[in-house]
C-alpha cells in the first residue's frame, strides 16, 4: 500500500483510551515514511481538541494531518457564497467555522436576515425541539441544507448512540430537501484526503487503504472512491451488521494493531514471515468469508464424496458460500451458521 487513511473514534481510540497497538501502527508508518492522514466525521469537537486528545495518548500529530467535514463545509459555503450561515454544532466546534458569518443555531445570535445555509453536525443530547424547528423553518424558506455527515450512530461508552445522520434524514424528510454532505462517505471528501497524502499524481487510489469501524462511511465510501476499505473489529463494529449490511470489506482486521504487526514483519527475517503465514493459516479465514473462496463450488462435490475424518461431519457440506462462523480446520467441527 502507498498510503493510509485512518478513522479516529472507534479506530484509533474509544472512550476507554487509545486502542492497543494504535500508536505503534502510526510509529511504524512514520519510520517507513508511508504517508497517512486521519479522516474523521467527528463534529462534536474542533481539530485543536482532536490534536490535544491524540497527543494525550502519546501520538504527536499536527492539525494538518486531520481532515474533518467542518473545514470542508467552510470551503463549500465560501465557494457557493452562502451568507450568513446557521450552524447546529456544539459551541466548541464553532472555532473551526471561522471565515463564515454565523447566526442563529448554536451561536446565540439572532438571525436578522434569512441565512444562506444551515449546517447540521452532531449535537447529541444538545438537540432540542426548538433547534430542530428553527432549522426546519429556514429550510422551508429555501435555505440550503449542509450536512457534516450522515453517520448513523457511534460508540459512546458501552452504548451505541445516534449520530448526525438521523437528524439530517428527519430534516430532509420534513422539508423535501436533499442535504449536501461534506464528510465521509462523499467522493469529494475522499478525493481531498487522497490528494493531501502528497503522493505522485499517477498513484492509483486502489493503493490507498481507508481503515475504520464504520461499514458505510469508512468501508463502502472508500471503495466507491476507488480506495480499499478495511474494517476493524473495534469501536462500533458489530458482527450482525457486517453479515447483514451487504458491504464487503477488502480486509477485516482485529484492530489497527494488525497493520503494525504486518509492517514490522515485512522488515523482518524470512523466518518471521514464515511464522506469520503459519499463524495466519492456524487462525483460519476472516470472519464472514468462505475458507475456499471462489474455489468452493468446484471442490464441494469432491469433498462430499470423501468420508469425514475422525467421524466429524465435513463443514464444507454446509457452506457453499459465505459463513458467519470461523473454523480452525476445514475438517474440524465448527459452528458455521447460515450459508448464502
Please report the beta strands in the chain, taking only residues with DSSP state E, as ranges in sequence order: 3-6, 13-14, 17-18, 36-39, 66-67, 85-88, 117-120, 144-147, 153-156, 159-162, 180-181, 208-212, 228-232, 251-253
pTM, two decimal places = 0.72
pLDDT in tens, 135-187: 999 999 999 999 999 889 888 888 888 999 999 999 999 999 999 999 999 99
Task: Give kind and range of the element (H or E) at residue 72.
Answer: helix 69-80
Q: Does domain 78-181 have CATH number 3.40.50.1000?
A: yes
Lowest mean pLDDT among 22-31, 94-103, 189-198, 315-324: 315-324
Superfamily of the domain at 3-68+185-266: HAD superfamily/HAD-like (3.40.50.1000)
β-pairing verdict for 153-156 and 159-162? antiparallel
- How many Cβ atoms are within 10 Å of 29's Cβ, its own excluded? 19
Can you say how many angstroms the Cα of residue 188 is from the centroid of all Cα atoms in its chain? 15
Closest Cα to residue 187, out of 152, 222, 213? 222
Decide if 310 contacts 333 (C-beta within 8 A).
Answer: no
Q: What is the pLDDT of residue 328?
A: 36
Domains 3-68+185-266 and 78-181 share a fold: yes
Confidence class of residue 84 from pLDDT cuts 50, 70 and 90? very high
Burial of residue 335 (CB within 10 Å: 0-12, 13-18, 19+) is exposed
Domain ranges across the chain = 3-68+185-266, 78-181
258 pLDDT higher than 60:
yes
Q: What tens digit of pLDDT does each residue of 16-66 get?
A: 899 999 999 999 999 999 999 999 998 988 999 999 999 999 988 999 999
Residue bearing the bigger pLDDT, 309 or 243: 243
How high is the mean pLDDT of the chain? Answer: 81
Amino acid at each position: 500500500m502507498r498510503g493510509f487513511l485512518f478513522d479516529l473514534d472507534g479506530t484509533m481510540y474509544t472512550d476507554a483510551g487509545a486502542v492497543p497497538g494504535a500508536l505503534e501502527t502510526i510509529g511504524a508508518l512514520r519510520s517507513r515514511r508511508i504517508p497517512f492522514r486521519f479522516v474523521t466525521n467527528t463534529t462534536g469537537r474542533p481539530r485543536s481538541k482532536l490534536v490535544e486528545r491524540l497527543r494525550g495518548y502519546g501520538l504527536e500529530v499536527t492539525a494538518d494531518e486531520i481532515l474533518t467535514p467542518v473545514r470542508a463545509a467552510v470551503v463549500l459555503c465560501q465557494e457557493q457564497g452562502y451568507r450568513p450561515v446557521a450552524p447546529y454544532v456544539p459551541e466548541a466546534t464553532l472555532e473551526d467555522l471561522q471565515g463564515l458569518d454565523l447566526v442563529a443555531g448554536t451561536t446565540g445570535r439572532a438571525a436578522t436576515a434569512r441565512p444562506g445555509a444551515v449546517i447540521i453536525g452532531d449535537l447529541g443530547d444538545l438537540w432540542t425541539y426548538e433547534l430542530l424547528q428553527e432549522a426546519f423553518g429556514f429550510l422551508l424558506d429555501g435555505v440550503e441544507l449542509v450536512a457534516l455527515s450522515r453517520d448513523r450512530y457511534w460508540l459512546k461508552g458501552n452504548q451505541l448512540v445516534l449520530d448526525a445522520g438521523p437528524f439530517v434524514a428527519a430534516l430532509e424528510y420534513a422539508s423535501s430537501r436533499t442535504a449536501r454532505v461534506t464528510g465521509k462517505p462523499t467522493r469529494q471528501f475522499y478525493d481531498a484526503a487522497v490528494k493531501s497524502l502528497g503522493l505522485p499524481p499517477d498513484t492509483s487510489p486502489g493503493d490507498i487503504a481507508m481503515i475504520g469501524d464504520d461499514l458505510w462511511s469508512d468501508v463502502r465510501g472508500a471503495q466507491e472512491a476507488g480506495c480499499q476499505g478495511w474494517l476493524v473489529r473495534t469501536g462500533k463494529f458489530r458482527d450482525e451488521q457486517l453479515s447483514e449490511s451487504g458491504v464487503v470489506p477488502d480486509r477485516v482486521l482485529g484492530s489497527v494493531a494488525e497493520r503494525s504487526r504486518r509492517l514490522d514483519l515485512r522488515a523482518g527475517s524470512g523466518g518471521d514471515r514464515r511464522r506469520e503465514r503459519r499463524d495466519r493459516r492456524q487462525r483460519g479465514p476472516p470472519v464472514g468469508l468462505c475458507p475456499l473462496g471462489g474455489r468452493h463450488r468446484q471442490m464441494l462435490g469432491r469433498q462430499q464424496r470423501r468420508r469425514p475424518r475422525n467421524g466429524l461431519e465435513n463443514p464444507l457440506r454446509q457452506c457453499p458460500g459465505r459463513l458467519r462462523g470461523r473454523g480452525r480446520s476445514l475438517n474440524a467441527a465448527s459452528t458455521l451458521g447460515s450459508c448464502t
